Structure 1
Amino acid sequence: MAAKRPCGAMFPRSDHIREIENVGMGMATGRDEIVVQSWLRCLEQHQLDPAQNCEAFIVPDHKLREHRQQSEELINIARSGLEHLFQQVAGQNYVLLLSDRQGVTVEFLGDPLFDNNLRKAGLYMGSEWSEGRAGTCAVGACMETGEALTIHQTDHFDNTHTPLSCTAAPIYDMRGSLNAVLDISLLSSPILKASQNLALHLVNATARRIELANLMANTRHEWVLRFARSPEFLDVDPEAAISIDPNGRVIGMTHGGAKLLARASGLDWRRPETLLGQPLSLFFDTDIDSLPDLTRSRPTEERVLFARDGNALFAHAIEPNTRARRRMPARDQIPSPLRRLGGDEPSILALQAKAAKLARTRLPILIQGETGTGKEYLARALHDGSGLSGRFVAVNCAAIPEQLIESELFGHVPGAFTGASAKGRKGLIEQADGGTLFLDEIGDMPYTLQSRLLRVLAEQEVLPVGASEPRPVRVRIVSASHHSLPEAVREGRFREDLYYRLNTATITLPPLRERPDFDWLVERVLKRHASEGNNPALSKAAILALKAHAWPGNIRELDNVIAVATALCEKGHIDLADLPEHLSCEGETDADAQALRQLLVACDWNVSEAARRLGLDRSTVHRRMKRHGISQPH
């Protein structure tokens, strides 16, 4: 349930309030369905009361700074697009808001003459327009549906917002997740909702261009394919784009690109993980070797590409920036412990290079990443590459009982408490003197101990339990958390001053589902579990299943899956049947069924020949045919 909004006094029920209440009772209304569904969410999910008038909510300044810092890259990329849109609507009293994925306005363009009115209406920097906070509104409804829309006047849930007319479009990141919302609003407007059709077109087009700029900025070293239905717009204003790695797999896309890929393959754009990592040939009648034919070396009207669903598109291929790629450090220039973190893909090589530079400093480092992404492995690699003479000491703050963590970390003098060692004991911080102290799951450290850790960082000294004099220590702190520490700070569970001390330098480990070196990791794990006489290889079907999985447990989960599959497989061959059942199901998609049918046709329905080409047993192919309802036509 959403947090209760700060609201004013109750007001008599107006026609607008009664209409919302009628919708809640299942009665029909002439509103757009998207408005009706939002009203129902406000009533049932967010438990908001339409009879309570609520002022717009502006987050405090320190919270706004946090939101803007987290969105800094997006703001910089989007700024020129926002300014161009603002110029297009100049003189029409529109206000532009760029909201982050929490619905907080992190960039704002409006007429300064109306600042007071705009702030009061919530059309201002720092305003929060999530549906749970503001009720039905363009930003909130856009976040919920993922689609561009207009919420016009009395479409709004809250009475205080009914003078407004707001139009919003989603901005997706290159992995297919909602990244931000672009909103264009009026304090007052003509009565007809259709008056905002042009605004809807403009905000949609601007969001598309921001997504394209973001994709281009983050894939300078990869192939990019841009698409348009008309050759005249291909080079100047493409409708969609995707990026492709050196192995010919899709690694990024705009929202239009996601929808295009989904249509071509029969998959769902709302499940971007099924599109990413797939070969280009799954979606189009081409592969990476043919992309040079779609560069500007050929006339625009000749650059035609056919999607697997039969649609023809004009395509523009942009080559990787090879000169920038050559500036990337060679693997042999990175210390060996850090080289073992990943493969040769540019983003992984950049992560290794950053870690190598930070390893040689004594700066505190915060490692962020989901559970199982290898945070402790990276921490050890940072220590091994640092040249420090002291020990590497790892502490899991979530695993030590709260009543023991103080003495474990800081140590104690003889007889400091009941049960204490008669000789006293060095704490883990002192044991790491001259080396590295790795604090895993730092977000779970008790709040009362956080101030003592802050003193270690600030004063380079530790005070054991029961001691009156501190002891000097020189220790390098590396911490990690799969929790959002900024969120913990906002909720009062983590000290803000400690967070900024620990966050001096940050390294973010990508989740396994986003690793561009996925194949390299699988090979490494396979080698780890290989034994004499059992050095298995993965079938194509098993590889597809592994790539289709979301990997909530990341590398740790992959390691477990490969370990079991290696033990179960026969004849040195890991097939779908050797993987956990939920992975086997994920690996079988409509696209797989179509590919199997095409292969059988190419083999004149000779199942043995199809099995040979797939590297599978004949019985496995028969099982897959039965599962997909494939049979030889008479």
Structure 2
Amino acid sequence: MLEASGAWQEWQRAQCRAVLARRLPVAADDPPAEILDSWARCLQQGLDFERPLPLIVVEDADLRRRRERAGRVRQLALVELETLMQQIAGSSFLLAFADAEGVVLDRYADQRFVTSTAGEGIPAGSLWTERAAGTNGLGTALACGRPVAVNGPEHFFGQFSHIACTAAPIRDADGTVIGALDASCCFDSRQRHTQALVQMAAAHIENVLLAEQRRQHWVLALHPRPEFVGTLSAGLLAFDGEGRLSAFNGRAVGLLSGLAVQRGAAFEQLFNEPFDRFLGRLRAEGATRLRDAMNSVLAVACVQPGEPAAALPLVGSAGPAVVHARAQPTPSAPLSPEVGEDPAVLQAQALVAAAVRRQLPILIQGETGTGKELLARHAHQASGRSGAFVPVNCGAVPAELFEAELFGYVGGAFTGARRQGQAGLLASAQGGTLLLDEVGELPLPLQAALLRFLDDGLLRPVGGRQLQAVDVQVLAATHVDLEAAVAQGRFRADLLYRLNTVSVKLPPLRLRSDFDQVATRLLHTLQPDARLQPAALRRLAQHGWPGNFRELRACLARVLLTHPTGLIDAADVHAVLPPRPQASEHGPSQLQRGATEAVLAEFRRCGSVSRTARCLGISRTTVYRHLREAGLLAA
């Protein structure tokens, strides 16, 4: 069918780019993928950007029925709209809540916007699906199921080119889109933080709905940092009495990246502990810690107990309220399995210890799971600094929230903000060490802000004007090639030069000379009386370990499930390792081509490097490498 062919899709994209180029004669970057995708959908539905359609407004009786049907989600949306209106008062905005069919049920606007041409064109009852109004905030967010921003000329119909809008869908506990929030303003007066405010408001609604709609289930909040368990940065998971996952929010998916976060999954598929044992600890300790199946440690608290008699401290009093807390110093880590006698590791430890004593920025490189955070903790301890060690995963914090998380905010900066404001992670690390893990995922706008801080040591909270001097040792870690990211325009060259004043690289597990020692030590952390026979160690050493220590830990945990006595031989190891690739006449090159073909297929399907990486569970750098190998990018 012609519409489904690659040539037709390329023609559609060329049409979109040509029109946008005419509307924005000084356009710099290619339009965002979600805008091009939306324009393509509009063309497929027979819309013509030169022939706008008349606005559809439902009758009053239909509007009343829709408001009644929206029920609880509309109640929550109205509260969020009122709060948002207070936060952006005087900034000439219109805020709207629409149902899942794109009909605006309620709107709040200041007088200036209401009397403007833009404000008159968005009445209650108006229909804003893509089919009815082309590319626009509400319609496109509902169509693609994720937050979007549509700025001026990016609207499909030119009559809306004077409006900037940002919208976020709202999902219920089953993951069904049941509405959307939108903030619109004149294109020339759009504000930087509006998208973050709208997404945070939608996230708060979703969290409340999750807790209410899973009232009889265990609802848990989790985050790598205990002080953020009660914030919108926390992931929420709901489990039924059998330990089956019944609901989760978007943050939980990000925090448990690489795991099968899906409804019906068993608790033990996500975490390294039986559900009943965990509940016992939760009842005894309240807030506690939990290792996921990739061996990452998460702070966990109970938002809602799954049993009436459970006496547990809850995060908030009426569902997952937004609670803020200052970061506390992280205690010194005990001797870890990753610490061994490999010369490259010992050299890295010595180098970072010398560098932090001179307060030099350090860049720690290495594959995922090689112990980069452990090396950063070693650097913090060697520095003798009395402040906290504060790690932050740049890839786990939503881009729109990252600035507030890192630099803090003043009172009233956004919806859900504390009246007195909140210190950010940099301020929490005062006198200590801040680790920017996966720094390659840092959004470009924030890279400039970080560079300014590294240059002058001054931070400015979001919404504030006063500068604050902060004494923080900054470390960065990454598993991607930052030089390649610079070449691709995804990372600032000046920031890279600043961060890698001292650069160290940890070897992957497969290349470590002390493999037997660290594997044995890791096994003993799982079961002290367990023992690996020499043949078992040799079989383990033959594996490639692309997941490094995380993969090794998971492998040993699987072995111990079937061998509780802890005496492990080569056959036991072989049974839990993935099969080795079969040799062929083409060897590794054929395997490489297969991986490239898989990446190309996904890239053609979704049209975005970021979405391809997310769908395949690989880094964007890997996607770029395969695209270059396929000849789609310059080498």
* TM-score bin, normalised by smaller chain: 0.3 to 0.5
TM (norm. structure 2) is 0.44
**Structure ID, larger Rg:** 1
TM (norm. structure 1) is 0.44
